[in-house]
Amino acid sequence: MKKINLLYFLCFLFSYINAQNNNDITIGKIDNVNSKILNENRKILVHVPIDNPYDKNTYPVVYLLDGDAHFYSVVGMIRQLSSVNGNTICPKMIVVGISNTDRTRDLSPTKGESVNSGGGDNFIAFLEKELIPYIDSKYPTIHYRTFIGHSLGGLTVMNSLVKKPELFNAYVAIDPSMWWDNENLLNKIKTIAFRDGYNNKTLFLGIANTIRNGKDIVNVQNDTTQANRHIRAILKLNSYLMNNTQMELSFKGKYYEDNDHGSVPLIAEYDALRFIFDFYGDFKLSENDYLNPNIDILGKLEEHYNKLSKGFGIKIIPNEFVVNDLGKKLLRKKQFEKAYKVFQMNINNYPNSSNTNEAMGDYYMAIGKNEKAIKSYKKAVSISDDSFLKEKIIKLENN
């Protein structure tokens, strides 16, 4: 093992053992952002995935409103869905839970029935100019963001989609308070085509069963009572988006008959993640893919990562360690031509990695080309000093 890798591993192991000795299970940390825009200090809850300690991975980010209420469940769900063996649903992600100070002020886009409301645009400015830049500067992020909000938080999600669509890639509005201020934001939405600037944007709308007065999902839409204004406004939103066949925005709305306003977030978040990341999944190969010389494994690998790149809207390079493992498996199956192509792609993507050059050396060793193996091993050692590889080189040179 490389010295630097060993150092990372020992640090990770020490932290892990220390956590076990303290009987702690840690899923995140409390951080703070001092906001000049809001003129206050804002507490945030941050979860960063725990990976191989020497992998330098970067992650999409989920920004979660009402963080104190939803942080633990969302982190747990994402950790589960991103690590299901053989059927990964979504990527590992950083989760940023935003705690409230004055919830009504921050999550209402216009003045409404409550005192000190209407600070929603200011709050979005805080997200854009302070919180997101802070997270990007301090944590290992990629430029793919999901925004999740429930109730007034869902209203804020919709306000951001309307006024700052470029801030996030995916929007999740769960039972949003579209009734706010006599449906002010809803009326604006009905004038928007959702074409320019909405390509590759995704919106999931979760609708809880809040129907009152003996109505059902059909006749409640014609009801005029105050008791049903909440679901009536959401159904208007859903209907407009469903019937807007010209929009670029990718949209899905779902009604949860068996869930009320309080119980709907968890199941809606699950469905939202499946919808948003329908392009995501494990790279799978069959035994025939490995053994059949006519099957282009490299082409399949490139196709998979091209699909990810399109879904994320950024170039996604195949993971160095995943590709190395694939090449080594091909070596064990004596599929030397396929192994070479896979290892060479990894070197093209990570030319200054000791691991990729060492793997190519293993390939040359397997086919009996010791001089080329020595050259690859020496390149690996020049990048990261490794006493084991040095001994291996000496033995090869003495043969």
Task: Render 282-327 in DSSP notation, one character per residue.
Answer: -----HHHHH-TTS-HHHHHHHHHHHHHHHHTS--PPPHHHHHHHH
pLDDT confidence of residue 21: 55
Residue 387 — pLDDT band, cuts 50, 70, 90? confident
In this prediction, residues 156-172 reach a mean pLDDT of 98
Classify residue 33 as left (phi > 0), alpha (psi -120 to 50) or beta: beta
CB 290 within 8 A of CB 334: no
pLDDT at 1 over 90: no
User: Distance between CA 241 and CA 343 in Å, rounded?
Assistant: 47
Comparing 87 with 277, the larger pLDDT belongs to 277
pLDDT at 4 over 50: no
| Burial category of 118 from C-beta neighbours within 10 Å (exposed 0-12, middle 13-18, buried 19 and up) | middle
Residues contacting 226, CB < 8 A, separation 6+: none
In this prediction, residues 243-272 reach a mean pLDDT of 97
Q: Does domain 3-276 have CATH number 3.40.50.1820?
A: yes
Residue 319 — pLDDT band, cuts 50, 70, 90? confident
In this prediction, residues 254-270 reach a mean pLDDT of 98
CB 235 within 8 A of CB 273: no
CB 166 within 8 A of CB 143: no
332: three-class secondary structure by DSSP: helix
pLDDT confidence of residue 394: 84
β pairing state of 59-64 and 202-208: unpaired
pLDDT confidence of residue 9: 46
Residue 306 — pLDDT band, cuts 50, 70, 90? very high
User: Distance between CA 346 and CA 80 in Å, rounded?
Assistant: 29
Q: Which long-range contacts (CB under 8 A, 24 or more apart) does 360-367 make?
A: 362/328, 362/331, 363/327, 363/331, 363/336, 363/339, 365/396, 366/331, 366/336, 366/339, 367/336
User: Distance between CA 259 and CA 211 in Å, rounded?
Assistant: 11
pLDDT at 5 over 50: no
pLDDT confidence of residue 24: 83
In this prediction, residues 259-273 reach a mean pLDDT of 98
Which value, to the nearest 10 degrees, does the dihedral of the CA atoms of residues 292, 298, 301, 305 take?
-160
CB 89 within 8 A of CB 274: yes
According to DSSP, residue 127 is labeled I
pLDDT at 207 over 70: yes
pLDDT at 191 over 60: yes
Locate the domains of the chain by residue range.
Answer: 3-276, 287-398
pLDDT confidence of residue 273: 98
DSSP per-residue codes, 103-122: HHHHH-SS--SSTT---HHH
**Token pair of 113 as six digits:** 């029935």
Q: Which range is most confident: 4-18, 58-72, 292-306?
A: 58-72
Residue length, the chain? 399
| Burial category of 375 from C-beta neighbours within 10 Å (exposed 0-12, middle 13-18, buried 19 and up) | middle
| Burial category of 318 from C-beta neighbours within 10 Å (exposed 0-12, middle 13-18, buried 19 and up) | buried
Give the closest residue to 167 by CA, choosing from 144, 142, 200: 144
User: Distance between CA 53 and CA 49 in Å, rounded?
Assistant: 11
- For a pLDDT cut of 70, what percent of the chain falls above it? 93
Q: Give pLDDT tens digits for 19-77.
A: 445 688 889 999 999 999 999 999 999 999 987 655 678 999 999 999 999 999 999 99
Q: Give pLDDT tens digits for 95-143.
A: 999 999 999 999 999 998 888 999 999 999 999 999 999 999 999 999 9
Phi/psi of residue 12, each to 5°?
A: -65, -45
Which of these ranges, 1-10, 76-85, 228-237, 243-252, has the smallest mean pLDDT?
Answer: 1-10
User: Distance between CA 313 and CA 168 in Å, rounded?
Assistant: 12
Q: What is the mean pLDDT of the chain?
A: 91
According to DSSP, residue 366 is labeled H
CB 329 within 8 A of CB 290: yes
In this prediction, residues 188-207 reach a mean pLDDT of 96
CB 124 within 8 A of CB 162: no
CB 46 within 8 A of CB 139: yes
Q: Does domain 287-398 have CATH number 2.40.110.10?
A: no
pLDDT confidence of residue 388: 80
pLDDT at 163 over 50: yes
